Structure formats: structure tokens, C-alpha cells
Amino acid sequence: MDILNKLISASNSKSSLSAFIDDYNQELYDFLLTQSYRDLKRYKEDIDRYILSHLKVIKTLDFDLESTRVFVLILLEVAERFSFLTSFQRLFKLLHKNDCELGSRIQASSSFFIGVRRISDYEKRVDQILHQLSVAYNVEDSEERVVGTLINFYAQVVHNFALQNQDRVLLLRDHILSKREDLSFYFLRHELIDKVFSIDISDHIVAFEKIKSLLDIFLERTNKYLSFTHDSFMMEEGTSYVDLLGCDCPDFFALRDIAVDEYQKIADKSVYYSLDKGVRVLTSESQLFAYLYSYGKMHYNKVTSAFKALPDNLNDKCLEIIDWGCGQALASVCFFDYIKEKGCELIVHQVTLIEPSKIALKRGSLHVKKYELAGNIRTVNKDLDSLVDNDIVSDNTHIKVHLFSNILDIEKFSLKKLISFIENNFQGENYFVCASPYINYLRTSRLDGFMSSFSRFDSFEKYLDVDHEKGEWINGWTRSIRVFKANIESSIE
């Protein structure tokens, strides 16, 4: 709540609000978009009241600045999440007027939050809404948020028209369900949609409350991982995959070839969709194979393009590698392949793998163990928000190379907490390799906020800062890359 009070206090003028945005945008992002729905729900009335009472000042901000656009988009996302109709309408129109990039899910929400007067408006727009949600689901957004937006849509239809037009509401519902067999609308198979769409709408008020209650329960669920293991080293042993890997040191493409062969035996699209575009915490071997099969080449090219920006003066230095949210340690594997190909003479004292999925972490340590260069391997079976200081063993005299592959853009953890953790535990010379897909500038702002937080150190040096949207890079892939150096000091104001 402290950050919300600071925001309210700073919103009396354009200059004070602009200064607040420059200083606190990332903290506000954490508060409004990454903390749990359950915790944020306590402040929903305060947030809605803030938007409506300070919109006049918000309109005066400079929308040529990315920080302004990110700030207003954060407010818009919260307005959509809690169905603040008036706040959503006004913020959406403000962003649209200023030619700001708006994601497909937000565009879908605008189609049922703005300009609806009769049920025929919903009927005319339903296919457009479903198409926009399909794009969001398959390219931009999490399954949770897409499903939540669809349920919001149906709730609005029931609330506004089920009393006078029950038959047409049911026809619209059946039309939505008729799309389920099309794999591009795979999100329609979610169990919550079955529960919501089976609710009796003869009493539209009761039905609306039941729908909102189910949606609240769904959104309030925190990300549940299997219980963490506190061993300092975990590795896959005695499995058929260990046998497939053999004794020789593989490279990335040898690992992927195995995964391709194994996944083709499964040939189950539901496994692919369970990856949620590669951001889901994996729980089965079939998902491990599906990830490498589906995203492996893109992953390799993205992180390798980032490694090329690292300076050559790391030769003959003693390094520690920290692979954050490592999954199967593919970023580490790609790094070892890269330095081997370049003929670099590096001394890797330790590799630390941090990952909430036990099955992925065990496989990742197996992959890294195959490289003689890897040195000591430590595994930390936790999500990033659960880390504590004694999880990490690091030497201030070693050079640290931090690998953040497809992790910083994910809105599942607090960047402020992560940055503080790094500053407390990795003093000395640090290099950061951050590689994510380009989704939109709101998500990419997390990478910018992360890099910016280290720019206060005198030794900060930026090597690469590049964004490529779809169609601007190889194979139609996207990328957001940030590579930089910071000497983290023990005390700095």
C-alpha cells in the first residue's frame, strides 16, 4: 500500500507524477501486476478511485515517453483485471488517442467494455473477440489471463442481457463453444469455461454473481509448485534419458535431436499447449521434450546472439555461471557450446542452476554435468520469489555471468526483490545476459527496469540493447536482448 500512497501523493501535478514514474514505475509494476490477485484485491476500490480522480493529470503526461506509456498501460491492465468499466474506457481511449501499442487481449476487452448498447453488438463482435483472444493465447499472453478475459466477457453478456434475451445469450454461448475443436482456440477447453458455461442463467443476477465468484477463485489461486527440495545438488539418474544421452559430451543440437525423436513418439498437441508458450513450470518428461522440440532452435539462436555481445576480456578469468529460472539449463548448455566454438580459455569455478521444477532442474544439472568445463554444480529448487541469502554460495573475487533466458519478461515474480537479492549476494564484477521474446513494450519494460537498476553503479557498461518484433529478425522470431556489466559494491546510496 505504501507505493499506492506515494502515487496518490505524487499525482497533484504533471511534474511530480512524471518524477514519480521515473523513480517508481518498476515498483508500481510489481505492486499492480506481479503480486497475487488475492493480495491486490484488497486495494481494488482505492485503485479505481485513484484512476478516476487523477485522470485529468494523467492526460497531461508526455506520451512520447515510454515510461508514460508503460505507466498508463499498467493502470489499464488492472482496470481490465477488475472490470473497472469507466476507468478502462477512459484509459483505453487515452492510449488509443496517443497511438500506444495495445495487446490483443486488451483489444478484445475493449470490444465488450466499450460501445455496447444491445445484444446484437455482442453477437457482431464475438468472432472478433475470439480471434483477438486466440492471438493473445498463442502469441502474447498467459492462459490464465486469456481465460479470465473470456469469462469477463461472458459475465458482461449475462449481466446485461440474460433477463430480456436469455435465448440469444445461450445461442452466443453455444457459438463460443462450437469453436473448441479448432486448435487455435485451445483455451476454450479450459475446465473453468465448462463450469461457467454450465451455470443456469434463468436468474441473471444470481448467475452473474456465480460467474464472478468462480472467476475470483480462479484468479486467486497462487502459482503452486511442487514442494521444493533443499538438497544442494540434484541430478537425473537411472532413467532411459540418461541412457539416451550416453557418455559423450553432447552439444545443444544433440540434446534437441533426442527430444525431437522422443516427442514425435508422443505426438500429443495437449502436451504442447500445456507449456503455455514455454512459461509454465514443467511437471512431466513429455513437457521437457515438447519444449525443446517446439522452442529449442529459437532459444538457441536468441541466447547465442546475446553471448556475442560479451567482451573478449573474460578469457583466462575464473567465472561463476548463474542460470536463473534455468529449466533444463539450456542457456548454460548454449553458453558452453558458444565458448567452445570460439576457442575461449575460461575457468568455470561453479554453475548455479535455479529452477522451481524438480524434473527440469534434475535434467538441467545432467546436461551441464556433461561439460568438463562446468566445474562445481549447485542446484536451487525454488522460484525466484522464494530465494533467501543462504541459497547462494558465491565468491566476490570471481567474475559472475548471470543468464536470464526467457524469464525476466514473465510477470510471476517481483523484480524489486530479485534486484535486491542479486545486490546482496553477488558483489564484485558481474555480467548479465538477458534474452526474452519481444511481446510488447509493457513486458519488455521489465528488462529495461532490471538493467536500469544496475546503471547506478559507476562501473555499469551496456553492451547490447535490442528489440526485434515479429518479422524483424530471423525466421520471424522476436527477441529482446539486454547485455551489460556492473561491479556491485557492498554499499551504495
209 lies in the same domain as 247: no
Per the structure, the count of domains in the chain is 2
Structure confidence by residue, pLDDT tens digits, 19-57:
999 999 999 999 999 888 888 999 999 999 999 999 999
For the segment 99-115, the average pLDDT, to the nearest whole number, is 95
| Residue 260 covered by a domain | yes
| Residue 229 covered by a domain | no
Give the CA count within 13 Å in the CB-facing half-sphere of 77: 25
Express as a percent the part of the chain with pLDDT over 90.
82
152 lies in the same domain as 204: yes
Quick one: pLDDT at residue 420?
95
pLDDT score of 226 more than 50: no
157 lies in the same domain as 262: no
Structure confidence by residue, pLDDT tens digits, 471-487:
999 999 999 999 999 99
312 Cβ contact list (under 8 Å, min separation 6): none
266 lies in the same domain as 200: no
Quick one: pLDDT at residue 1?
61
| Residue 232 covered by a domain | no
The grid coordinates listed for 47 are: 485503485
Strand partners of residue 141? none
210 lies in the same domain as 263: no
Cα distance between residue 58 and residue 55, in whole Å:
5
307 lies in the same domain as 407: yes
pLDDT score of 178 more than 50: yes
369 lies in the same domain as 415: yes
| Residue 227 covered by a domain | no
Quick one: pLDDT at residue 279?
86
Closest by alpha carbon to 380, among 362, 404, 398? 362
Confidence at 228, pLDDT banded by 50, 70, 90:
low
pLDDT score of 222 more than 50: no
Q: Are 406 and 479 in contact, with CB atoms under 8 Å apart?
A: no
Quick one: pLDDT at residue 412?
87
Q: Are 103 and 146 in contact, with CB atoms under 8 Å apart?
A: no
Helix (H) or strand (E) holding 16: helix 14-29
Structure confidence by residue, pLDDT tens digits, 153-172:
999 999 999 999 999 999 99
Q: Using CA atoms in the order 414, 419, 420, 425, what is the torsion angle rounded to 10 degrees?
A: 130
312 lies in the same domain as 407: yes
280 lies in the same domain as 209: no
Structure confidence by residue, pLDDT tens digits, 110-158:
999 999 999 999 999 999 999 999 999 998 888 999 999 999 999 999 9
| Residue 231 covered by a domain | no
Q: Which CATH number do you get for residue 260?
A: 3.40.50.150
* Complete DSSP assignment for 105-151: HHHHHHHHHSS--SHHHHHHHHHHHHHHHHHIIIIIS-HHHHHHHHH
208 lies in the same domain as 254: no
| Residue 226 covered by a domain | no
Cα angle value 229/235/241 (rounded, 5°):
130
The grid coordinates listed for 363 are: 535434467
Residues in the chain: 493
Burial 379-412 (b: 16+ CB within 10 A, else e): bbbbbbeebeeebbebeeebbbbbbbbbbbbbbe
Domain final position from 220, 249, 280: 220
205 lies in the same domain as 300: no
Quick one: pLDDT at residue 225?
46
Give SS3 for 435.
strand
Confidence at 235, pLDDT banded by 50, 70, 90:
very high
The pTM assigned to this predicted structure is 0.92
pLDDT score of 246 more than 80: yes
Closest by alpha carbon to 352, among 361, 343, 342, 344? 361
What is the domain extent for residue 400?
Answer: 240-488
Q: Are 490 and 425 in contact, with CB atoms under 8 Å apart?
A: no
For the segment 330-337, the average pLDDT, to the nearest whole number, is 97
| Residue 166 covered by a domain | yes
For the segment 285-304, the average pLDDT, to the nearest whole number, is 96
pLDDT score of 352 more than 90: yes
Quick one: pLDDT at residue 221?
62
| Residue 203 covered by a domain | yes
pLDDT score of 360 more than 80: yes
Structure confidence by residue, pLDDT tens digits, 6-25:
999 999 999 999 999 999 99
> Long-range contacts made by residues 448-454, C-beta under 8 angstroms, separation at least 24?
448/66, 448/482, 449/25, 449/26, 449/29, 449/415, 450/404, 450/408, 450/415, 450/418, 450/419, 450/482, 451/482, 451/484, 452/26, 453/26, 453/415, 453/419, 454/419, 454/430, 454/484, 454/486, 454/488
Average pLDDT, the chain: 93
Domain final position from 191, 220, 249: 220
196 lies in the same domain as 259: no
Structure confidence by residue, pLDDT tens digits, 382-441:
999 999 998 998 999 999 999 999 999 998 899 999 999 999 999 999 999 999 999 988
Confidence at 247, pLDDT banded by 50, 70, 90:
confident
pLDDT score of 493 more than 70: no
Q: Are 447 and 480 in contact, with CB atoms under 8 Å apart?
A: yes
The grid coordinates listed for 217 are: 477463485
For the segment 229-251, the average pLDDT, to the nearest whole number, is 87
Express as a percent the part of the chain with pLDDT over 70.
97
